[in-house]
Chains A and B, each alone.
Chain A
Amino acid sequence: MLLNGHETFGWGTIILHWMIALLILGLIVLGFIMVRPDIDPELQFSLYQWHKSFGMTVLALSVIRVIWWLTNRHPASVKGLSPLEARSASAVHLLLLAMTIAVPLAGWAVASTSTLGIPTLVFNRVLVPHLPLRPSAEAEAFWTTTHALLAYGMGGLVVLHMVAAFHHEFIRRDGVLSRMIRGSLGKR
């Protein structure tokens, strides 16, 4: 099913979730490698452009994901969660959702304020205009730091999210991870 059910995730949610997840992990690795100071400059230029292209892709998918999240039913939490667990799970999910928008936006701000003025040509095909921000060394430094902090912060949340998913799946055996793979909670 495309749409979410009372207890199940539809494949719309599942595909968006995993595409964004894979892209984000790739982008964190790419972002970490491309800022190494001893990297070949030609490779570095190329990695930055890939990072921008995939980052814009994440932003587009995340906007769709947020609309999807707002317009779709939210499947019920698995049984046996304490109120604190339920609240913190929701908080992490909401934060992750917000970060998938905020991190690429901050990255877009880096490209827009950079005194290098390098255009964003997504996959060498689609020209994405700069945000209406004034380029300056200070603004570029600010957004670079913000982007990195937000990205690594999101990385931390992703780890938390994964640990929780594995805990539910393999310790509590309540099918939380299965639900995001097969849609249903799956009886074990």
Chain B
Amino acid sequence: MPAYTAAALTFTTLTLASGFAQAKAPSLDDAAGRYDIDGSSKISFSVDQVGGGGISGSFGKFSGTFQLDGRDIRRSVVEFSLFPESVQTGEERIEKFLRSSAIFDTKTYPKIVFRSTKITQTSDDTAEIEGNLTAKGMTKTEHFTATLTKWNRRVISFHIQGGVYRTRYNMSTGTPIYSNIVQFDMVVNGQKH
């Protein structure tokens, strides 16, 4: 089914988003392949607080790969690891608190891991990613939406968003002053192997 191919996904984005309407369609082989998640990616999050505003920040240290299946996007796989020790919020005391046993407990659980289990294309340039998120010893199914934002022969970029209920991962400290939902807003840049 052509609608589900990576080629269609990337071609549409090229014509719509990147302004190279005249560029020739990338071949299936161009988009398919294995990508390393690049350090230029931005892993941002925010947690709303009662009365407006909230805590926002990012994670500086992470790694991961994704495998784009050229024939069938559903067979693509994403693996992503995040090191919560690298959390940045602009307020040192908040970072220290987030690293502590109250939230991430980075000494005991230095790594947060996401592995996709199902990827569903939802439009020409968007997809829904379902997968298992493991944090603080708990593994739960989560959903993220991915939008293709950039593509060339070497690099592919996605804007990935999704909300995670932190109480499911023993990180409930601060509710209800701070929302249970951690909103992720990520720009994931993949460098082709």
Query: What is the interface of chain A, defined by CB distance below 8 A to chain B?
Result: 40-42, 45-46, 49, 115-119, 121, 124, 127, 129
Contacts and interface: CB of A to CB of B under 8 A. Distances in A.
Contacts of B97: 41, 45
Given A42-B102, A42-B173, A119-B177, 12 more contacts: A40-B101, A45-B173, A46-B173, A115-B91, A115-B93, A116-B93, A118-B49, A118-B177, A121-B50, A127-B50, A127-B51, A129-B51
B173 to A, nearest CB: 5
Nearest to A118: B177
Contacts of B101: 40-42
B94 interface: yes
Contacts of A129: 51
Contacts of B174: 45
B100 interface: yes
7 contacts: A41-B102, A42-B100, A49-B177, A115-B93, A116-B91, A119-B50, A129-B51
Nearest to B90: A115
Nearest to A115: B91
How extensive is the interface on chain B, given as a class? 10 to 19
A45 B103 CA distance: 11
Nearest to A117: B53
B176 interface: yes
A110 to B, nearest CB: 14
A125 B106 CA distance: 31
Given A41-B102, A45-B173, A119 B91 contact: no
A125 B49 CA distance: 13
B84 to A, nearest CB: 14
A115 B97 CA distance: 14
A126 B177 CA distance: 10
Contacts of A45: 97, 102, 173-174
Q: Which of A40, A42, A121, A127 has the most CB of B within 10 A?
A: A42
A41 B93 CA distance: 11
* Leading 10 A-B pairs by shortest Cβ distance: A42-B102, A41-B100, A41-B102, A42-B173, A121-B177, A119-B51, A127-B51, A119-B50, A121-B50, A119-B49
A116 B177 contact: no
Interface string B82-96: 000000000101100
Nearest to A42: B102
A124 B94 CA distance: 20
Contacts of B94: 116
Contacts of B93: 115-116
Contacts of A127: 50-51
Contact of B176 (A41, A46, A121): A121
Contacts of A46: 173
A124 B176 contact: yes
A116 B94 CA distance: 7
A117 B51 CA distance: 11
A188 B71 CA distance: 98
A59 to B, nearest CB: 19
Interface in B155-176: 173-174, 176
